[in-house]
Amino acid sequence: MSRIGKQKLQIPASVKISRDGAAITITGPKGTLTRSFNDLITITIENDVVSFEPTRSDVSTRALWGTYAAHIKNMIAGVVEGFSKKLILEGVGFKSEVSGSKLNLALGFSHPVPVEIPQGLTVTAEKNLITITGTDKESVGQFAATVRALKKPEPYKGKGFRYSDEVIRRKQGKKSA
């Protein structure tokens, strides 16, 4: 039994949910999100409450029960408040700037690294702090992970990208005799 799936979700007054076959569209003050859902879970929208009920009782259906509830909850939170991730770039000579729909990075390589910003995301870069905001939690997290993977933080000097709430365990390095 899914504790998350059993809970009924309250729909805020500023949010409208509509269903078109397998696709559910959620519209709010920050934008619109659409996602297709499998018919293994029955999603019922009545009187500003969303409820979930599995159609079968096998393991995979029970796993999707809480997952679908979490997806709908994140979609509602995204169109009401939005999501953001902050990346900190550390290192001498490492720079970042946003120009148009590209994030241009200087990461100590012999060439600049341009990264295309996905549709629906807003990226700001000031000094060594990059802020990624958007309504879709999945795309915000994926883009932040893609940028971080370009130069992961190393444990000796801490150079590279790290999340703002991430703690890097530092190593001591070589000792001189």
Query: Structurally, how many domains does the chain consist of?
Result: 2
* CA gap 97, 71 in Å, rounded: 32
Q: Are 117 and 105 in contact (CB under 8 A)?
A: no
177 in any annotated domain:
no
Q: What is the pLDDT of residue 89?
A: 94
So what's the pLDDT on residue 70? Answer: 94
φ, ψ of residue 105 to 5 degrees: the values are -125, 140
Residue ranges for the chain with pLDDT beneath 50: none
Q: What is the pLDDT of residue 54?
A: 92
Q: Is residue 33 part of a domain?
A: yes
Please check whether residue 171 lies inside any domain of the structure: no
pLDDT at res. 77:
95
Q: Residue 14: give the domain boundaries.
A: 3-80
Rg of the chain on CA atoms, in Å: 21
Q: Provide the token pair at 4.
A: 């998350």
Q: Is residue 168 part of a domain?
A: no
**Domain co-membership, 138 together with 149:** yes
**3 state SS for 127-161:** CCEEEEEECCHHHHHHHHHHHHHHCCCCCCCCCEE
Residue 10 belongs to domain with CATH number: 3.90.930.12
Whether 52 is covered by a domain: the verdict is yes
pLDDT of amino acid 1 = 59
Shared domain for 9 and 28, answered yes or no, is: yes
Q: Considering the entire predicted model, what is its pTM?
A: 0.90
Last residue of some domain: 80, 103, 131? Answer: 80
Residue 28 domain-assigned?
A: yes
